[in-house]
Structure 1
Amino acid sequence: MIISIFLRHFKIYKGINYLPISEGVGFSSIIGENGCGKSSILEALDFCFNKKGATDWPINNEAKSDGISGDNFPFIVPVFLIHKNKLRKENKPDLEQYNNAKSLSDFLWRTTIKAKGKFYDDFYKHRDELSNIYDPEEYLLLFVGKKYNDPGVYFGSFHNQLTFINDKPHETYEDAELQKFFKGFYEYINSHYSYIYIPVETDVQTYTKLETQDMQKLMDKNIQREIEKAITSKTINQINKDLDKFVKEIEEVLEIYHYKGHFKNNLTMPDLVSKIIEAYFSIKVLNKKVENSKSIPVTELSSGEKRKALIDVAYSFLRKNNDRESNIILAIDEPEASLHISNCYEQFDKLLRISKDNHQILVSTHWYGFLPIITNGSATAVTKNAKNEVTFKFLNLYNYRENILHSRKLHKGPLPIDYNIKSYNDLVQSIIISVMQDNAYYWIVCEGQSEKIYFDHYFKSEIDQKNLRILPVGGFKEVKKIYSYLTTPIKDPDYKVIGKVYCLIDTDKERIEVSEYSKDKNLLFERLVIRKNESILVEVNNVLMNPPTEIEDCLDPTIFYHALQEFSNDYQTLWDLFAKKKQELEEKYSADFFDLTKKEKEIIKSFFDDHEGFNKILFAKKYVELAEKPFFKELNKLDWIEEIKIKLYK
């Protein structure tokens, strides 16, 4: 996938700029105010993938004034992080390119070349962070770019340092020698990807025509090839034979005249394919299905609905077709453009789901409501200073809140934008408006990703049919913060609230007090706690605090037992526990599935806390995988889950 980009003299970017985009995960966002250069990054990548021969680059005006001749040329150099197994190497030409990729990657992982320019420091810092996550022996780090008005491959500021290309290491070389070594390399790397760029001004009717290049990328089908399969060469030959016969009959009548082609005398396959595309596909327009079997052409939808339709089309194709010839990189300018704020969350949620299916999503956006809820993604905050220079701040959204706190400590004075406040404001606005619609939404706000995995399973029908959304926000304090923000508008009698928000947290050892809490049918805040062998839900300020309870204590004991067994081979303490214990079949919840001592319970707790709590997520996935099997279907009911459903929809 693309992890960063070097830009020089492209639109707002004067001089050489290094902009990190990702740390190897599927969802990447570029945030910032208007005019700071967010969309320019996505557009630059479009030039690299889809406009390779273009000579009309939007070059920075100041650079034009200074002159772009000699060494002062514009360039675009994407940086890729690719697992070695993802590159083709089956035939000889591909194997040669693969070996070139390994040589380039070895150089880029290890080089310490330094010259004037902040971009070197930015690249090395990002590279060091990547090397802590990805093994350089397994992952290739590659530069594959273009410079302005040059057909060859370009490697940015390292272009003249790749001395491994000849037998004389540490000596200079001519560009022609480099281009010969890397002939076809640019095409080889880019052929593994399909880059789809949707600018803000995209016309939905034109874009969604089945014959367009981007739609064929989404479908992963080449319409020309599909038509050729239907027609076959035999059909073409028969058509030509019959038409030749027809023309000869006409010429016999004309006597001294005959028909002759200017360049050819027979129809070819491309002739027929182009006419079929023109006649068949060009007349078909995307329509949205509505009630009573009716439909509306997308041209008649509102601006927001048109924008939503673009994402819906991409979502449908990418979610249902993972067996693809190339990796999709979907880049979208402002997915929230023209949308009612109540629909922003759903728009981004779809993009997040696509990114989890091994596709890369790049968005530029003004809507920061997604920041607190992303557990696997990144944000590049781009700003422009008084000198028109572009600066950035890269945020890994897995530990977003810690990053914000760290940024405040390092930054002298206030941050250019308080992303934390703005992100919560955007998210809360979206929730508030969604619960006030006629077709209202319902929300469960929970602590973490593992809870979401369980709830996505247990509330599947409500999510599919009753507008339920599960929102993990990263701990009790964040749930409390969301609740606090929602309290005033949802409890305001002047607002007609139809939907509901249900906030749920675990029961910790320490006493919890939410001062602003009060009962409300549309905004609930409760805790999960074990009481006399029952999992019960109590109001958040309830005095009942014993025993400390987490969601893992309140699951089905049989499914819990079998899921935990799946991890025993990697954890000796768990293995020892299973060796001397038997499941208590009469127990109702997982907290008592063994007759465990306090010390034995600590063994299981330490397993869930391992890998900074990531084991909770792995376990939740395994639990749900087992719960969905027919054998466990009858066991798959939890009273407290059913109670939440009643409270949400009564």
Structure 2
Amino acid sequence: MVQGFNIIIGIILKYYKTYKGINYIPITDMDNFCGLVGENGIGKSSVLEALDTFFNGRAWNYNTTTKKRGVDYSEPQIVPLFLIDRESLSASVQDLARELHEVTIGGVETDVNSANKANYKIFAEHRNRLSERVNLEEKYLIPIGINHCGDIATSIFNNRRLVEVVLGQSSNSETTSLDEVDLQRYQPLLQELKTLIEYIYIPKEIDSNSFTKLETKEIQVLMGETLIEILSTRVTAAQIQEINSSLIEFIDTLSDELEDYSYRTPTDRQQRLKKNDVYNLIIQAFFNTRRLHKKQGANWLEISALSSGEKQKAIVDIAHSLLNKHRSKGSNLIVGIDEPETSLHMSACFDQFDALYDISRQCMQIFFASHWYGFLPTVEQGSTTVITKKEDHHFFDQINLSEYREQVKRLATSSRGRLPYDIRLKSMNDFIQSIITSVIGDNPFSWIICEGSSEKVYLSSYLKDLLQDKRIRIVPVGGAKEIKRVYNHLSTSYEDFKKEVSGKMILISDTDEELVNYKVSEYENLKCKRLVLSSEDKITRLVNIDSNPVSPATEIEDCLNGKLFLETLRLFSEDYSELVGFVNDIDLVSDELDVKFALDIKSSEWEKIKRFFDCEGVKYRFARKYVDTMKQDHAIPSWVLEVRKMLE
């Protein structure tokens, strides 16, 4: 079983579907939520299909050049690049993995011929970004795939460096690549990777009724067990033996009654029911007659009767639920889904992608191709590859979503006109449309837009009783400047639709030392607030962005329940003893005050706590511990009660 963190970081496609010649496509630099965006026909779904061909034997979809000139001319290939924890692989293939890893990690542009230099340069840049995020000495970076015949292929990595690794540096200097026979040495490694990893592809035009049947391979993969395995625990060998004995007893009785006649099988050995006979009969008679239904009020509607958008949502819902609640672990599962937003109403797109993000946390990796860009400004961890085409050549710009805004700005400068639109504008427009369309109508959603993922954790816990009943979405957008940007877009749209808006939109910012200040209007259903400490009455206030006071600097951690904050901080005191070891000895002024007013500590100690929260990943981990430690007797901060009142 695969352990640790394993992903496919990129893929090389040669003469597969849209892709002519060799194309290195970077996919991620260290997260498993992986999007592919671009115009129609650009090659997004080609990546997902190619992985299905590689893992599941899907028929090759050749490029038109191959169809015209033949496979001998074009030599089609699919070569994924696997980033694999070393302990995930068996001892028998460690040396093979190490050889290919050495070629990818130590390779330079001069290792390849002139025709491959452009693609190798893209890979080298991708490898450098990857090395900033992960210690490559603890993993294997393995380029291994297949050609159209199913033989081993390593594409641009079948070069002189590989020759020297396999055959030695003294090998003939004119040998610049391994032949097919030498490459077959990597067959055990390829087979182990394909055995370790399961891949499900959900195409855009999928037959939802067929896909969701319990007997389909895809649903059984999502469950993590086959129907045969399920039946083997519920219909035991002893029960089958009992059925056989009873049936034979009946046949024997009948034979006695018929005297010179008997019902027998053609052979002397009288056949009995085998386990698989029974299991297959049950599958046909019991499971095959069942279809997925969705509850609509008091009725159940078969999935085939749902709208196209509801069918698409149902598929993602089923995958989400099975991975989350049924399958024991998904660390070896990759899910590829093509245009999950197809036929969905704009207001439902956010939920669909939120579910995809949750799925990515439950499995090895998720790949999706999309025309909806609203997820870009709201996902804090993930990757998106923007695919463009100019003069018959594909270009790939991979964006790490944790640095989305900075990277897109650099892309706009460096892409030299390849990007056909401002991706920042399109992503924000899609997101804003999703919000506005969802807050209109008789059964609207309400939205809380906050700065970061830790704020979402706190708010989700404090408001958990309202989230479902009031249809509330809580979305982090990455800082006070982005809150401002979202508000400006929302306020413009609000003016056009304010008579129809019935859901609430609440934007909440911290008070930064360098305050992001802007004018906000008093709308009934659109509020833009700022957290600020009030020393006068020792509470945290929610004020309008452009209101007083404008100081002191206030972050979400300053505004939590002081008693619970201290209890949570003490859980980190051992691991971060240099920064917060002192908290075991400090006094609590009050059980009910917010943090800044509840703890009796010095300025120098506050500074240490600030440095603690500045450590990588601490804010989110602390938030998770805080809500896990929360009990009913912990007082709810007054500003949270104010947010609840706005929603109610």
Instruction: Summarize the Cα distance change of 1:257–1:287 in structure 2 as closer, same or farther, 3 Å threshold.
Output: closer
1:624 paired to 2:627: yes
Partner in structure 2 of residue 227 of structure 1: 231
Please tell me whether the aligned partners of residues 191 and 326 of structure 1 are also in contact (alpha carbons under 8 angstroms).
no
Instruction: Indicate the residue corresponding to 1:17 in structure 2.
Output: 23
Give the aligned partner of residue 378 of structure 1: 383
Structure 2: stretches of 5+ with no match in the other structure: 1-6
* 2:105 equivalent to 1:109: yes
Output one character per residue of 1:288-321: Cα deviation in whole Å (capped at 9) or x when no partner: 11223x2111111111111110011001011124
Kept after mapping to 2: 8 A contact 1:192/1:326: no
Say if 1:111 and 1:261 are closer, same or farther in 2 by CA, change over 3 A. Answer: farther
The one-letter code matched in structure 2 to 1:33 is E
Which of 3, 9, 13 is 1:3 aligned to?
Answer: 9
Displacement of 1:355? 1.4
Q: Which runs of 5+ in 1 are unaligned?
A: 90-94
Q: Give the structure 2 partner of residue 132 of structure 1.
A: 132
Contact 2:329–2:363 under 8 Å retained in 1: no
- State which drifts further: 586-595 or 545-554: 586-595
Q: Deviations over 1:455-478 (max 9, x none)?
A: 121111222322111111111111
**1:78 partner amino acid:** P
Local SS of the residue matching 2:45:
helix
Query: 2:286 & 2:170 partners in 1: Cα distance?
Result: 60
Distance 2:183 2:165 in 1: 7
Q: C-alpha displacement at 1:240, in angstroms?
A: 5.4
Structure 1 residues 262 and 607, CA gap change in structure 2 (3 angstroms): same
Query: Which residue of 269, 273, 284 corresponds with 2:275?
Result: 269
In structure 2, what is the equivalent of residue 92 of structure 1?
none
Aligned equivalent of 1:529: 532
Would you say 1:305 and 2:306 are equivalent positions? no
Q: What letter corresponds to residue 348 of structure 1 in structure 2? A: F
Count of aligned positions: 628
Seen in structure 2, the aligned counterparts of structure 1 residues 513 and 280 have a Cα distance that, compared at 3 Å, is: same
* Residue equivalent to 1:76: 78
The answer to whether the 8 Å contact 1:561/1:593 transfers is no
Return the alpha-carbon distance in structure 1 between the equivalents of residues 15 and 418 of structure 2: 30
Q: 1:86-118 CA deviation, whole Å, 9 max, x = no partner?
A: 34x3xxxxx202443234323322233232221
What residue in structure 2 maps to residue 284 of structure 1? 290
Does residue 147 (structure 1) correspond to residue 152 (structure 2)? The answer is no
Q: State the Cα distance separating 1:428 from its structure 2 match.
A: 0.3
Q: Does 1:615 align with 2:618?
A: yes
| TM-score of the two chains, using structure 1 as the length reference | 0.90
- AA aligned to 2:427 is S
> Larger deviation: 469-478 or 556-565?
556-565
Distance 1:347 1:379, change over 3 A: same
> Residue 566 of structure 2 contacts residue 583 of structure 2 at CA under 8 Å; is this kept in 1?
no
Does residue 1:451 correspond to 2:451, yes or no? Answer: no
Q: Shift of residue 510 of structure 1?
A: 4.0
2:4 counterpart residue number: none
CA displacement 1:340-386 (0-9 Å, x = unmatched): 1110000000111121234411110000000001111000011122x
CA–CA distance in structure 1, aligned partners of residues 603 and 81 of structure 2: 51
Q: Distance in 2 between matches of 1:213 and 1:361?
A: 18
| Cα shift readout 1:101-151 (whole Å, capped 9, x = no counterpart) | 23432332223323222111111111122122211221121123111023x
Task: Return closer, same or farther for 1:247/1:439 CA change in 2, 3 Å cut-off.
Answer: same
Partner of residue 472 from structure 2, selected from 463, 468, 478: 468
Identity of aligned residues (%): 37
Q: Per the alignment, in what secondary structure is the counterpart of residue 220 of structure 2?
A: helix
- Which residue identity is paired with 1:437? G
Aligned-partner SS, 2:554: coil
* Matched residue, 2:562: 557
TM-score by length of 2: 0.90
Please tell me the residue identity of whatever aligns with 2:106.
R
CA distance, structure 1, for counterparts of residue 407 and residue 556 of structure 2: 27
- Aligned CA distance change for structure 1 residues 240 and 418 (closer, same or farther; 3 Å): same
Following superposition, the deviation at residue 405 of structure 1 comes to 1.4
Q: Is the 8 A contact 1:6 1:77 kept in 2?
A: yes
- Render the CA deviation track for 1:181-226: whole Å, top value 9, x for unaligned: 3343222112222211100111111111101000000111111122
Q: Secondary structure at the match of 1:568?
A: coil
Indicate conservation of the 8 Å contact 2:37/2:385, yes or no.
Answer: yes
CA–CA separation in structure 1 for the residues paired with 2:350 and 2:360: 15
1:324 correspondence with 2:329: yes
The structure-2 alpha-carbon separation of the partners of 1:494 and 1:132, relative to structure 1 and needing over 3 Å to count, comes to: closer
Q: CA RMSD in A?
A: 2.7
Cα deviation for residue 608 of structure 1 reads 2.2
Cα distance between partner residues in 2 of 1:256 and 1:526: 88
Shift of the 437–390 alpha-carbon distance from structure 1 to 2, 3 Å rule, reads same
Which of 172, 195, 199 is 2:199 aligned to? 195
* CA–CA distance in structure 1, aligned partners of residues 561 and 155 of structure 2: 56
* 2:208 is the alignment partner of 1:210: no
The answer to whether 1:440 aligns with 2:444 is yes
The one-letter code sitting in structure 1 at the alignment partner of 2:459 is: F
Which residue of structure 2 lines up, in the alignment, with residue 34 of structure 1?
40
Q: Match for 2:533: what amino acid?
A: I
